[in-house]
Chain A
Amino acid sequence: MDHLDQLEAQSIYIFREAFARLKKIALLWSLGKDSNVMIWLARKAFFGRVPFPALHVDTGKKFPEMYRFRDHYGKEWDLDLRVEPCPPIDAVDPTLPPAARSAARKTEGLKMALGKFGFDGLIAGIRRDEEATRAKERVFSPRGLEGNWDVRDQPPEFWDHFNASPPQGAHLRIHPILHWTEADIWAYTKRENIPIIPLYLAKDGKRYRSLGDQDITNPVASTASNIDEILIELEQTKVPERAGRALDHETEDAFERLRVAGYL
């Protein structure tokens, strides 16, 4: 087994545990490279079929390429796609800095979708190497009744035994690719020939390393026009993956405040 085989086997194990132990789960499909890998892994885990809904909490502000991708592959992969809207910006905590406030709409949209469908587990494609607070996550991560994350009181998790009993009315976040890195995602995408949104590839000296809302995501300088070149670029770079995400850099703790409130 090589490195990618090990990552894949571990993710499949997590998917199967989530499906066996929770009653009603959904996969959060953000259309980005990570969540596309997740869908691929789910199809491997369940032999071609994703046996739960793919939920897209839509800010309405994604890139047109992303919507086209969603509509095309939602059908081709035979997903049970649920698109749920986010509330207007006025409904969001006005003390947050502008970009974080904009991103927090997604948290609110997620809460509304949770209330509507009553999911007890949401599968999310976050990774430990992305960002410091995500590094502290559990694979099965309990959320409070308001969707909040209590970083101080996380249950122990070891030997692939997961805490899968959310209290009544609360839910769990399940993170099947927590242990992957950005380079792993690209190497696997290439090996498995998983489709991607072309915005990730360089055009006119720029490419997106991470895709969010159009108004709060910026491209990075790059000439990597295919996955091999992206992998070489990642070997060399010391720029963090989320450098183009405005909301991470507004204040020291903006991202953590978002996550404690239930942001991915």
Chain B
Amino acid sequence: MNMIVTPASPATPNGTTRPQVRIVIVGHVDHGKSTLVGRLLHETGSLPDGKLEMLKAVSARRGMPFEWSFLLDALQTERDQGITIDTTQIRFRTNSRDIVLIDAPGHAEFLRNMITGASQADGAVLIIDALEGVRDQTRRHGYLLHLLGVKQVAIVVNKMDRVDFSAERFKEISDEISAHLNGLGVKPTAVIPISARDGDGVAMRTDRISWYKGPTVVEALDALEPARPLEALALRLPVQAIYKFDDRRIVAGRIESGSLIAGDEIVIMPAGKIAKIKTVESWPATPVAGRQGAGRSVGITLDRELFIERGDIVAHAGSAPRETRRLRARIFWLHDKPLAKGDQLLVRCGPKESRATVVAIEKAVDPGELSSSENKAIGRNHVGEIDISLSNPIATDPYTENPRTGRLVIEVSGRIAGGGLVLSVDAGQRAVPVDIVPVESALRPDERSARYQHNGAVVWLTGLPASGKSTLAKALERRLFTNGGSPILLDGDTLRAGLNSDLGFSTADRSENIRRLAEVATHLARNGHIAIVAAVSPAREDRAAARRIADTAFREIHVATPAEVCEDRDPKGHYKKARAGALASFTGIGNDYEAPQAAELVIDTSTRTVAEAADEIEQMLKNTGVLFDEAVDLAANI
């Protein structure tokens, strides 16, 4: 091995001072991605010594002709199946670029791996078999490149040797794919005829493609630009965590766009609190000089103590992101179960997470199909536009204004199930946040918890009229109070006499009634009280809305006393009146009560005493972390 040769220029971190670009090669299965990669490595002199010989020997031993793709199929499992399972990364050099090549699988089964690979790329090569032409996975990958924000796309038409290097066939394919991509707003940087197996068009323009005047693949890669940090845009510093390791209180995160410096006036979204950056912290403790720009992971301290949490966004006053509980997104979906209207999800925008409900689905299509027939739900590996309603307000930007913060992922059961771009942010009827500066309580939640021996919660009793909701609510209230807690009863009828006196019994008014109950109860819960709500609340969607408002504090109890027992009890005489036709819109004698499907607790009061039912509720509150057990680890609840 010839080692210490003094190079012409000194070695720098990535070998040279040249830009590094990350490339993904995508396309339909068997159109020759791995072959192209193998060929590229060979043509650029990037193969380790002996690798080619080793693989040729392995092929011979297996009685197979050597294939360039074997280079990548390093895993035994892949060789057995003959398909690339996952994203691998390979490095090589062209004249002026260091290339990190991400090989992504073409098999539809592994679309999540294609997305994982392509999401890291600055540019893409979309490969098409000259014989087979544009296929469903070609179109799907083209669409996903657009959704993933990969703008530099070079097309290679491979296996030209199989079509006798026909310029006509090349033009046919070139026209078809260019039209498809142009429709998505993606303009190919080059369309190149090649034979990856023989080498034509990869690093050299051979005689067989003498009619082609454009760049080779290597030249096209050489022209790609690395991604640039978004310093020119407005400041967005999503908060990853607040650290209090010593007497400093450091707000830590990565600057996604814009820049900051000590002394800047900032606003913290979504709450809209205002502060000034006191210091930019670092370790080792050398002073941080100058503005810190996009891409940096930083830690800042502020000139005042504010309640800030993970997921908040630090921005400059005057150019803050919008606060919203509702947004529209264009997404791709990877989960087995199609995404449908009404589905409950977890949405992540940067470090911020919020539970969410799909309110509407539009333009759900299979991007691989030519004629895109629209569906009601978004199937696996399909795309669509969705409206989502969020249980917590989040601060975000439309994708067109900020490609870093204007995107989201969707989680189902703790696993990423989809992702996409924020198309628009609907600030709705909520006031502009800078006009509202909520005054925060002087007390911290843990101070109250320590006194009451419980966390704040919304205990929501739903059930038919006369099912026993109010009786149970009062028994629970008494018991919690006796134990030193702070329960507060919110009875639907009582609130209708005051706060909700403007509301009737139309569907819309009932929904608004529930929303107000939930908002009041949630406010109490956030301040450490246990709000006990007794309300028929017959509509499932209304209760789901209440759960979104109260979020993790919500505990639903279905008081499931049989209808005939309720009607028999009839303490307020409502059933009698309703039967006589004197009480319109009465829930109970029709079929208009929608029972909960996943309540935290179900209680039938016809088969147990009030005390027994209260025991069960108490146990549920203990099991779900509301009530503390005897040996309290307070620290765990802070």
Contacts and interface: CB of A to CB of B under 8 A. Distances in A.
B409 A161 contact: yes
Given A158-B148, A223-B4, A187 B48 contact: no
Contact of B295 (A1, A138, A183, A231): A1
A9 B297 contact: yes
Contacts of B281: 47
Interface in A116-151: 128-129, 132-133, 135-136, 138, 151
Interface string B31-50: 00000000000000001110
Contact of A152 (B1, B85, B252): B85
B49 A184 contact: no
A238 B599 CA distance: 62
B4 A224 contact: yes
Given A47-B250, A132-B75, A136-B75, A238 B48 contact: yes
A20 B15 contact: no
B240 A20 contact: yes
B397 interface: no
A132 B74 contact: yes
Interface stretch (A28-36, A38-46, A101-109): A38-46
Given A158-B116, A159-B419, A188-B13, A233 B4 contact: yes
A2 B229 CA distance: 11
A47 B245 contact: yes
Contacts of B4: 223-224, 229, 232-233
A69 interface: no
B94 interface: no
Given A129-B91, A156-B112, A4 B13 contact: yes
A155 B415 contact: yes
B73 to A, nearest CB: 9
Contacts of A65: none
A51 interface: yes
B348 A165 contact: no
A187 B252 CA distance: 26
B113 interface: yes
B483 interface: no
A17 interface: yes
A20 B113 CA distance: 26
B334 interface: yes
Interface in A23-64: 43-49, 51
Interface in B404-427: 407, 409, 411, 414-416, 419
B201 interface: no
Contacts of B293: 1
Contact of B91 (A44, A155, A181): A181
B241 A16 contact: yes
A7 B409 CA distance: 23
Contacts of B122: none
Size class of the B contact interface (CB-based, 8 Å): 35 or more
A156 B116 contact: yes
B228 to A, nearest CB: 10
Contacts of B48: 238-240
B3 A222 contact: yes
Given A136-B86, A239-B49, A156 B416 contact: yes
A48 B283 contact: yes
Contact of A184 (B13, B250, B296): B13
Contacts of A133: 74-75
Interface in A227-264: 228-229, 231-240, 252-253, 256
A251 to B, nearest CB: 10
B254 interface: yes
B76 A253 contact: yes
Given A51-B245, A158-B148, A159-B407, A235 B296 contact: no
Interface string A159-192: 1010101000000000000000101100110000
B88 interface: yes
A44 B284 CA distance: 7
A158 B411 CA distance: 12
27 contacts: A1-B293, A1-B295, A5-B296, A9-B254, A9-B296, A9-B297, A10-B297, A16-B252, A47-B281, A47-B282, A48-B285, A135-B89, A135-B90, A136-B86, A136-B87, A151-B75, A156-B419, A158-B119, A159-B409, A184-B13, A221-B1, A232-B7, A234-B15, A235-B11, A236-B5, A252-B58, A253-B75
Given A136-B85, A156-B113, 18 more contacts: A1-B296, A9-B295, A9-B296, A12-B254, A44-B282, A45-B297, A47-B248, A128-B89, A151-B77, A157-B116, A159-B419, A161-B416, A161-B419, A163-B411, A163-B414, A181-B91, A187-B11, A233-B3
